[in-house]
Every structure is written in C-alpha cells, then in structure tokens.
Amino acid sequence: MNIYINGTGCISPQETAAGGPLLATPREYEQVRLATVDPDYKQWIDVKQIRRMSRVVKMGVGAASLSLAEAGISMPDAIITGTAYGCLDDTGVFITKMVNQQEEMLTPTAFIQSTHNTVGGQVALLLGCHGYNNTFVHRGFSFENALLDAIMILKEGSAKNILAGGLDEITNYSYQILHRFGGYKKTPVKTMELLNSPSSGTIAGEGAAFFTLSTERGDHTTAMLSGLSTLYKPLWEGEVIGHIMKFLEDNNCTPTDIDLIITGRNGDIDQDEIYEEIAAALFPDHAEASFKHLCGEYPTAAAFGLWMGNRIIAEQQVPEAAVFFGKAPEKINKVLLYNHHQGTHHSLILLTAC
C-alpha cells in the first residue's frame, strides 16, 4: 500500500511559507541562533486569537494550514504531531511567574498552553476536527514516531487523510541551558559556511512542517513516503551502515538506486563524522544535500528535511543552497533522508517520485 504526500507546509528560518521555487533566495545568517520567518498569520487565525497564541502554536497552525490547502483538504481524519520541547515560551512564562509571585495568585492560562499537545489541539479546534488527535514527545524521534503512527493508521484503513507534522521552538531560556552543555558554537558563523566549520557545536534552530498523507493520490502529488526506520544509540558506525543496508533491502532497493541523499549535517565536527563514514561506505559517488545550515538544529529538524526532499522531487532539481557534494541526476526518483540528533537518535526516510 502506497502512502502519498498530497500536501506540505513549512515555516522555518527560510522563506518557506511564501511559495515559489525552493530556496530561490536563501537567507544567510551570521549568528548561533535562527528564528523563523513568520508569515502573516491573520490569513489563517482570527486577530483576537493571535494575541493569545505563543509563537510555536502560530507556527504549527500556519504550517498545518499550508499543508491542507496544498492537498485541497478542508478536514483531515486525524491530526498527529511530534515535538520534543513543546511550548517552551509559555512554560518559561509560567515558571517565571511562579517564582516571582512565590507560587501565589497564578493564572492558569500559561500553564494550560505550555503542554506539548497544545499545537495539535489548537489545529483541531480551528478546523473543528473531532477525529484522532495524538502528540508524540520522544526527543529526537518525536517527528518520526508521528509519521510512523500516521502510516500504521492509513495502512489499517482507519483514516483516509492524516495531517502529520513536527515542530519545535527555541527560546532565550532553552538556548541558554543548551548552550551551557556545549551544543552550540561559541562564536557566530555564517550559515552557508557552517557545514565546513572545523569546530564543535552547531547553531540553534526552530520550525514547523506538516504533511497531508493519504493512501490515495491527490491532484498535485509528486512523492510517496516509501519507508521509515529509526535506530537508537548504535554502538558504532558499522551498526548504522548495516541498518541502512537492511532498510534499503526491505524497501526493494540498493544504494545505487538512490538518486540523492539528504543528510542532517549540522557543522559540529564530532556529530558530522558519522555522515562522512556513511557516505564513504555506501554512497561515495552520490550527490548529497544538507538542510540544517538552513533551518538550524532542533530535535524535529527532520521534518524540514522531509519537506525539502519532497520539494526537490517536485521540482526535479536541488537548489544550490542545499548542495553539499556532487550533482544530482536530471531525473530524481528516489531520495534517502538520513538524520541523527545528538548522535543517539538515527532515522531514515525514503521518498519515491510518483
């Protein structure tokens, strides 16, 4: 049974919500923290509601609305969301008030809106959707598990159209905490030079991407979600290589069948080493694209990578800003997305043109 991607929507540090050719005018930053380029949310959300929404909720609603509009669907049968951090901004507001007011006279609004399933719930409220609604909070596998849940539901026939996505935000509090752990660069770096950086650490990012999935092909469908697999804490690179080979075999293809690989390189010299070894072992002459220098690093960044892969198949070309190595063939049929988060959460997604 084929799973078709009938619509996509993405809000990121690039101009991804405006439409047009993929990354035609990429934004280059010279900083260690990227923020989303926010569209005019009033086209999807009432002005009175916008004032009460946090950034990540608006990002999620906007990306979900773009995806449904592209698919020509007004009401999905299910909404599945993946997020590792949830609504961090509202969490920070509530905790700050709790400390400053010594746990007295607290308003519950910020606490209610700080839960991880706020985005999925808000999308359902705006659409009036009473179907299956679930949010996965599984660190670096949050988005992948949301996709897996959607695939299983579609294959068992419980739903026809499912809206699935991944999103995360970065706030002042979360950035400061993660920076103390050494996860980010100590000095600003140009994003277009990030992947060749010789130092440890990467740049923080955020974004939201949603996909309208179905077992029936839509009018504007260009790609199928052919395979998905995850691997947690591999002991060494050989285990990852074996896992990729098994994944390709399970999906009736070999490394030579892959026209383009998209990797989650993030400019951290330690974390990028595994990508070098995988490319050398399995895809030495393959064209390779990357995406985290465009959106930054965050647990559900693979959602941006999947969105970019789908658009590459649709346009049959890799934008210059995304090229890391080589030149993709004129006909791009199969795209393999390989990503890992902090070296522990490894995921594979296979896209096939249709």
Residue 136 CA, distance from chain mean position: 13
Consecutive H or E run containing 151: helix 142-155
Which of 235, 210, 209, 213 is closest to 224 using CA atoms?
Answer: 213
Q: Is 254 exposed, middle or buried (0-12, 13-18, 19+ CB in 10 A)?
A: exposed
Residue in the structure block whose two tokens are 């719930």: 121
Domain boundaries in the chain?
A: 4-214, 223-353
Per-residue pLDDT, averaged over 247-257, amounts to 97
Alpha-carbon distance 2 to 351, whole Å? 11
Which of 123, 110, 93 is closest to 212 using CA atoms?
Answer: 123
Convert the pLDDT of each residue in 314-332 to its tens digit: 999 999 999 999 999 999 9
What CATH number should be reported for the domain whose range is 223-353?
3.40.47.10
Return the amino acid letter for 169: E
Domains 4-214 and 223-353 share a fold: yes
Pairing of strands 4-11, 223-232: antiparallel
pLDDT score, position 19: 86
pLDDT score, position 277: 96
Token duo for residue 62? 């906007």
Q: Is the pTM value of this prediction over 0.95?
A: yes
Instruction: Answer yes or no: CATH 3.20.20.70 is held by domain 4-214.
Output: no
Alpha-carbon distance 72 to 92, whole Å? 37
Convert the pLDDT of each residue in 110-167 to its tens digit: 788 788 999 999 999 999 999 999 999 999 999 999 999 999 999 999 999 999 999 9
Percent with pLDDT over 90 in the chain: 88
